[in-house]
Structure 1
């Protein structure tokens, strides 16, 4: 079920009452409250007939009040994004922390019309594979990349895939971890926008740096990010062997470059498909997570990859990648020809 905003409702108590009624009638797994300003949390129940209430906020003061009320708190980052995107990010946080499971219905209460009023509700059915993304799954990768760094990179990639830039779809490749070995297997395509900045000024956990990445993603080449989140380089051409690799049919050269570099280093790679905004996470030369983008207020789906062998044919057009993530098989690559990023 995709979310459908209700008409403007009355007081917060009325909206919450309707949310409780809907949650019980639909067998929802939870009620998610996302205020756009200060809220009297004494008005919000901790549960509705056994259905737990969760609340998302970026404000430390709000989070303290939420926890003080006994409501499950979901901490999200400050954002000026539209409510549909903020709902998605809150749901991602809830799933990553094992608060919601696959196939569940969630009733979302939010400020849809007035900034400091709960006046709208939406019913969302989470993707059927949503249980694949759990805190345990992501934290299992901490041997290679710290959880907070990986999460910041994945969130940035999801935003690139969903928003594009200047009205155009944008693809991107971000390689995370084992930066020294990764850099040894790449070469610059030209100007590096991050060169010359101090390390603390180019850490991906900084919102401003993530916004810069989203802008620079329009340029050719891959980003290289260290374990601590520092962007070591941008606009890099990856040159790594692809022998023995197999990927889903139709994936473009960004994906083959990601598979190749993760097969020969301990890095992880996050790829945004230009054609449809899908984000894929690579490890050891394979796709281990696929994230379908939120479109037109649909819930984000975190999915398994359906892999099968398909030899690539990199597109060598002056280093420019045209990612054609479509369901058709591509011709075989020339033997020994390395994949390219871009």
Structure 2
């Protein structure tokens, strides 16, 4: 995916200007010689922008349009270090990523670019790039070379990797999991990236290229970024591997981690999967309901973790996100407010769309639950859950929100993520039981 993005990106250095003027410049650039009417494309982009701002962070906007009949996605990158007045917010946008393409590529492409731009240091690297070719190298994975590791960090990383290699040889059945947002770490893994250890080594994090050229190479699992957490990233790093069967409850994992601001590795520890994820004894079945995509669950966890750590407007918030397609869900839910997502096309309300993050966080202040399809479509918010939890699974001190999340998973084949307003704890419920708490 990153190679395709790099090959097709059109880069423009922009002078400070208004949003619509910037969009016209980028649209004219990406549709050149493509047989598309720039006015039609600009109209589609502005129509999407008028319904919901495409700003995905303080410094980045990702305007986009879905055009029927297109076979591939066109990419335009506008770079303006001085800043562009994008919407009503005080902060100016410095990077504008324009995407124009078919519906079936829309979400995967947006997710891939979002992961890439979340890597530490990459925004500054793009803003200071001197040429279009340099930006393309960044999109192709050259950001690690553009933001080199300090000598001290390299030494600590090498020492950490050596300790992990010793552990891996001592424990020949344990998987090795490297949690990082720096794609360049792959070149520093030494024996972990070579047979035979590579066959049980997993590189997990945002902005990582999933493609492997050989079965003997390490397995790369690209995920969304999770916010800084003083308790460590183990739970949300291991979840994607658990749900795909790469690691099992009851097994041990050799986990390597590091501080994101250093971009290296500085810790290695032996993790008991069941204890770390607090998996109930004997729960060994699939950890996802039928039809639910892993990336949807990871994205929902990411948003919930951010809400738990940041709150909203300086106040803690709690919420429930229910994920699944079981028809029984309809019989156990009731809408308490007019549904804010009603009437919007499905691609425009998918939880994987990075531009919807702020919308989800704002709507989380509403009483009731989010209902999300297995493919990630936000079906409703403000839903009352009327499931019936098993009394034997009701823990002491369990509040109404957690009881509702537990009950809906006992009544329908869905997964529920519950964020506690009082403690910021995230609890995952499935099949009427607590699966994970962190």
TM-score (norm 2): 0.50
Q: Contact 1:258 / 1:269 at 8 angstroms: preserved in 2?
A: yes
State whether structure 2 residue 254 is matched by structure 1 residue 106.
yes
**2:186 maps to 1:44:** no
Higher relative contact order (CA 8 A, sep 6+): 1
C-alpha distance in structure 2 between counterparts of 1:98 and 1:70, whole Å? 19
Match of 2:216 among 52, 70, 79: 70
Q: Is 1:81–2:227 an aligned residue pair? A: yes
Root-mean-square deviation (CA, aligned residues, Å) is 4.2
Which residue, 9, 15, 20 being the options, matches 2:165? 20
Tell me the equivalent position of 1:233.
Answer: 380
Partner of 1:194 in structure 2?
A: 341
- After superposition, the Cα gap between the structure-2 partners of 1:123 and 1:282, relative to the gap in structure 1 and judged at 3 Å, is closer
Whole-Å Cα distance in 1 between the matches of residues 371 and 202 of structure 2? 36
- In the TM superposition, structure 1's runs of 4+ consecutive aligned residues that sit over 6 Å from their partners are 25-28, 47-50
> Tell me, what secondary structure is at the counterpart of 2:428?
strand
The 1-side partners of 2:346 and 2:379 are apart by 8
Q: Which of 400, 404, 411 matches 1:253?
A: 400
Q: Is the Cα contact below 8 Å between 2:320 and 2:418 reproduced in 1? A: yes
- Which structure has more helix as a fraction of its residues? 2
TM-score, scaled relative to structure 1:
0.62
1:110–1:44 distance in 2 versus 1, CA, 3 Å: farther
Partners of 2:389 and 2:164 in 1: how far apart?
54
Deviation at 1:8, TM superposition (A): 4.6
Query: Higher mean Cα deviation, 211-220 or 48-57?
Result: 48-57
Distance between the aligned counterparts of 1:80 and 1:132, measured in 2? Answer: 21
Q: 1:279 offset after TM fit, Å?
A: 0.9
Structure 2 residue 215 is matched with structure 1 residue 53: no
Look up the SS of the partner of 1:10 in the other structure.
helix
Residue matched to 1:10: 155
Q: CA–CA distance in 1 between the matches of 2:181 and 2:374?
A: 34
| 1:23–1:106 CA contact under 8 A, matched in 2 | yes
Structure number with larger C-alpha Rg: 2
Relative to structure 2, which stretch is displaced further, 92-101 or 21-30? 21-30
Name the counterpart of 2:435. Answer: 290
CA contact (8 A) 1:220 1:235 kept: yes
Q: 1:68 to 1:199 in 2, by over 3 A?
A: same
